[in-house]
């Protein structure tokens, strides 16, 4: 079965510093990877997906099949980036259902 | 457009009692999902429905049941609640299964005593 691991439960950075959230997955085929974000008092929402290859709110994520990773990066963190971030995986063999990692809470300090 | 609504917002329930968490979407999405969110474990899929009239088991289905009588509604029922079912429950929907963007409801915080 597929699995998603987010090794950091909490990341605390200062405003303007780079931030990288790690995500590793286990699946031998071709998965689709996503990052979802939950800001305080808001709903969980899609941040970005690897097939779009786009930058959202300054965040980027590259799928590395060799390392089975999909790390989320932003060069200059802002206070409004403070939130809970979830990496998720979808595979066609599992009916395209999402498997989520445990989540990383990001705290951006002023 | 409301998107996805869930009710109630929160509930305290005595162990052994039954409860139904409601979920309604107005986006005419085919697929709907129920997750539970627990600290350190992320979101885990309880049950899902690819289309009205069909349902399937997710990662943690025991103790829960669902029905999908129509496109809009996807209620989750706990027949006999236990303390380990204390969690935050999220309903979600997507236009197609999984690979498409999932849209989430605001959640229901359930405490089983």
Where residue B80 sits, what CATH number does that domain have? Answer: 2.60.40.10
Whether pLDDT at B28 is above 90: yes
Best residue in A91, A96, A101 to probe B by mutation, most B CBs within 10 Å? A96
Count how many domains chain B has: 1
Q: What is the mean pLDDT of chain A?
A: 91
Nearest CB to A97; choose among B90, B98, B107: B98
Q: Which of residues 14-33 of B touch A (CB under 8 A)?
A: 33
Whether pLDDT at A107 is above 80: yes
Count how many domains chain A has: 1
Return d(Cα B1, Cα B24) in angstroms, integer.
12
**Per-residue pLDDT averaged across B50-60, rounded?**
93
pLDDT at A31: 85
C-alpha distances (whole Å) from B74 to each of A1, A49, B6, B71 are 26, 26, 10, 8
Q: Report yes or no: A3 at the B interface, CB cutoff 8 Å.
A: no
pLDDT band per the 50, 70, 90 thresholds, residue B83:
very high
Neighbours of B37 (CB within 10 A): 20
pLDDT band per the 50, 70, 90 thresholds, residue B101:
confident
Angle, alpha carbons A10-A38-B61 (nearest 5°): 95
Q: How far is B3 from chain A (nearest CA, A)?
A: 11
Q: How far is A90 from chain B (nearest CA, A)?
A: 6
Whether pLDDT at A4 is above 70: yes
Q: Report yes or no: B45 at the A interface, CB cutoff 8 Å.
A: yes
Return d(Cα A53, Cα B40) in angstroms, integer.
28
Query: What CATH number is associated with residue A80?
Result: 2.60.40.10
From chain A, pick out residues whose CB is under 8 angstroms from the CB of B90: 44
SS3 label, residue A92: helix
Host domain of residue B33: 4-112
Q: Report yes or no: B42 at the A interface, CB cutoff 8 Å.
A: yes
Host domain of residue A22: 3-109
């Amino acid at each position: 079965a597929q699995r998603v691991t987010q090794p950091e439960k909490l990341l605390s950075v200062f405003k303007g510093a780079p931030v990288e959230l790690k995500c590793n997955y286990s699946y031998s085929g071709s998965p689709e990877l996503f990052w979802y974000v939950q800001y305080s008092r808001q709903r969980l929402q899609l941040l970005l997906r690897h097939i779009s290859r786009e930058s959202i709110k300054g965040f980027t994520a590259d799928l590395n099949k060799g390392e089975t990773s999909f790390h989320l990066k932003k060069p200059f963190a802002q206070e409004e980036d403070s939130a809970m971030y979830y990496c998720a995986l979808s595979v066609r063999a599992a009916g395209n259902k999402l498997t989520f990692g445990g989540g990383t809470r990001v705290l951006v300090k002023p | 457009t409301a998107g996805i609504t869930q009710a109630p917002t929160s509930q305290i329930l005595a162990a052994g009692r039954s409860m139904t968490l409601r979920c309604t979407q107005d986006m005419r999405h085919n697929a709907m999902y129920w997750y539970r969110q627990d600290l350190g474990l992320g979101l885990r899929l309880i049950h899902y429905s690819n289309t009205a009239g069909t349902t399937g088991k997710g990662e943690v289905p025991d103790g829960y049941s669902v029905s999908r009588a129509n496109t809009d509604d996807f209620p989750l029922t706990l027949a006999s609640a236990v303390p380990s079912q204390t969690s935050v429950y999220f309903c979600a929907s997507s236009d197609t299964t999984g690979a498409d963007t999932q849209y989430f409801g605001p959640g229901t915080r359930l405490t089983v005593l």
